[in-house]
Structure 1
């Protein structure tokens, strides 16, 4: 299942950071676990891992520079639960639909650090604080021998934006021997008008000459990237990757935003117990 985020204190400007590390964490999912497991323990094992990552991520808000951050990483997984930092997935029964095809289902919850506060950037001065939130929903993955397709729906259960997000992703993993995984991926993420307006809108009482009032509308971000994993053995792994996101017009048109794309790159190490 697509899952995963690191255990890390989330502050303003972490929306892109969280997305990027999610991609890093996906590299520790099913394929890596399968490669690291001893014969016969695939169904019954409980795994957990610790590590450290370094991430460089760009934010869409005007005047906010590139953020370079060291991130402690924690992962735990068994046949019922997959935890990676601020995201947890409760696994539901899977459905085999062919010799090499499977439908996987899950209920997910995650903390998202998309909020900001006055002082984070000049363009945000005299803006009311936008709070980060906790999101929950469901995910389904169609796994085949050729490609994996995932769909996810999340709602802001913290009540800050009261928004919804739906995403669709495609990826394929190539294995090279017993040590290397390489995964290109593409995806689209739809954010409803409440989400876009909350994080990128400008209220009438916040408007000024260089920051006119703006009401956000629903939009779709397009994402693409790659990630790679090198496993020295069943315990030690190095992860590397990056991605770029093309922002929806409804986000780019916000007076708070000064770019049309954002990007991130990362490098990490994990020790699997």
Structure 2
């Protein structure tokens, strides 16, 4: 199927996570080794001492994103998106994610999080979706925490639908580690995303009024998705960095049992560039 700019599903959650990880934090700061010619050394194990408050800084970049879609008949998406970054001692903004910092130390972080999530669709996105009511994208509000040691990083996130479209919630846990390969950092990860019944039913349910021949009514159920991914980061210069992020997500049965869904896994490729002023 040809690439298009139709709405995207769960991969957009990984997209915003990848953007945030690349743009900020001890993980991202140390993940892009110095440009060629400079030595790359492994960072020492972090202490519990809070790091100095960051001075205000800005950045801008570009993201190319290609994603497969779970819905029957929906084309894969290809998007080119601008990205704006800002951080000071109180807030961190990158792309669709805004964090309000509550705690920040060398080995842990805690923040309130606001995210715009492009997870909706229109009936016109696929012939199979004809007659379905529009599912809207919206804002999600919650909290996220990070814990690091010498072996890796664990990130936890709880989000609720602040736009009140689905009235749903989701929990996400991501475990990742980092290895330096010369001027490139390799960051493999394993992620688990639990989505409640309301969230799944809104995006993948079929009401009695929407049911058709070959598309029976379906009430979504809470589900658990599993993501495997890897991110490669490189610093081209002190103010410039690039990343490549590859991921595959196995969808839970609450989603795959829906008559709207035509595949059990979705995949994504993202290529990004960031310049810090």
Shared fold by TM > 0.5?
A: yes
Which of residues 257, 264, 268 is equivalent to 1:264? Answer: 268
Ranges in structure 1 where 5+ consecutive residues have no aligned partner: 1-9, 97-101
Q: Is contact 1:62-1:121 (8 Å) kept? A: yes
Q: Aligned partners of 2:201, 2:33: CA distance in 1, in Å?
A: 44
Which of residues 21, 24, 42 is equivalent to 1:29? Answer: 24
- Pair 50,94 (structure 1): closer, same or farther in 2 beyond 3 Å: closer
Which of residues 155, 159, 162 is equivalent to 2:164? Answer: 159
- Pair 95,44 (structure 1): closer, same or farther in 2 beyond 3 Å: closer
With normalisation by structure 1, the TM-score equals 0.87
Alpha-carbon shift at residue 176 of structure 1 (Å): 4.3
With normalisation by structure 2, the TM-score equals 0.86
Q: Aligned partners of 1:79, 1:33: CA distance in 2, in Å?
A: 16
Residue in 2 that maps onto 1:145: 150
Equivalent residue pairs, number: 255
Residue in 2 that maps onto 1:112: 117
User: Over the residues paired in the alignment, what is the CA RMSD in angstroms?
Assistant: 2.1
Ranges in structure 2 where 5+ consecutive residues have no aligned partner: 35-50
Runs of 4+ residues deviating >6 angstroms: none
Alpha-carbon shift at residue 36 of structure 1 (Å): 8.5
Q: Is contact 1:24-1:241 (8 Å) kept? A: no
Alpha-carbon shift at residue 18 of structure 1 (Å): 4.7
Q: Is contact 2:21-2:28 (8 Å) kept? A: no
Equivalent position SS for 2:231: strand
Equivalent position SS for 1:224: strand
Residue in 2 that maps onto 1:68: 78
Equivalent position SS for 1:154: strand
